[in-house]
Structures are given as structure tokens and as C-alpha cells.
Amino acid sequence: MVKKKKSFPETAAITEPIAVEETTSEKDVRANLEEIKTYDGVIGYILRNSTSAAIDLKDPTKIIDYAILSSSALEASEKLCELFDLGEAKNINVEGKDIKVLSLVIGENRISVFTEKNADCEKILRKLHSL
């Protein structure tokens, strides 16, 4: 049995400009992170996206520990936001006995900045959100 083809009325061409969200390039983020690394109390950072990762820490022996902490903090924040219907988290700040971790997502870049407890996280956030 042959099915009849349905014809659809022609649609008018869209003449209005379509808003396209610009993504922040990894190069811009990395440049800002290199500057942030020089701030007082900053231990280092991890920058990840779908294709690559960059890790810059003062103590390279703790790379795996920091990578697990970074990934776990970001995943936990996403699950908590979903569970409690909070929308999208702008950033998450985890404070431990000796260090703090500031994690956020900018475009497709997942960023974690590790600092000493007395570091100014607001200054770091302002720099990262200026992209």
C-alpha cells in the first residue's frame, strides 16, 4: 500500500536576526586563569572542557586528589540544583580545613580554582565572570 505524501504550506522566511549565544573560548579563560594564579593565596586551577583539560597546581603530587575534588564538587552542585529545583548554579564554593575550592562553569569550560583559606574568592569570581 502506498502512502500519500502530505503537503505543508510554505513558511515565510525569517527575516529577524537570530540570537546566537557566544561561547567563551578556552584561550580567554586560560589567560584569565594565568593571571588569577598570581593572586595571593591561589594554589592552582583545573580547566576542563569536552576536548581537553589543563591543570596548573603548585603541588603536582596532589593532581589526582584535586581532580577528584573538582569533579565531585561540580557534579554534586548539579545534582543538588536539580534535586531542589534551584535552576543553574553560578558557582560553588567548598571550604575545608586548609583550602577552598571555587568551581564554576563558563560556556563549556568547567573551572576549579584552589586557594588557601584566606584568599579573596570574590576577586577571582569577578575576574572570571568578566569574560
Q: Domain ranges for the chain, please list them.
A: 26-129
pLDDT at 41 (0 to 100): 96
**For range 82-109, the mean pLDDT:** 93
pLDDT at 27 (0 to 100): 86
Of the listed ranges 3-12, 15-24, 62-71, 110-119, the one predicted with least confidence: 15-24
- CA 79 – CA 77 distance, rounded (Å): 5
Q: By C-alpha distance, which of 77, 131, 66, 76 is closest to 100?
A: 66
CATH code: domain 26-129 is 3.30.450.30
- For 27-50, what is each residue's pLDDT tens digit? 889 999 999 999 999 999 999 998
Nine-digit cell string for 97: 580545613
- CA 75 – CA 35 distance, rounded (Å): 26
- CA 90 – CA 86 distance, rounded (Å): 11
- CA 35 – CA 82 distance, rounded (Å): 33
The answer to whether the pTM exceeds 0.85 is no
- For 53-95, what is each residue's pLDDT tens digit? 999 999 889 999 999 999 999 999 999 999 999 998 889 999 9
Q: Give the chain's mean pLDDT.
A: 85
End-to-end CA distance of the chain: 59
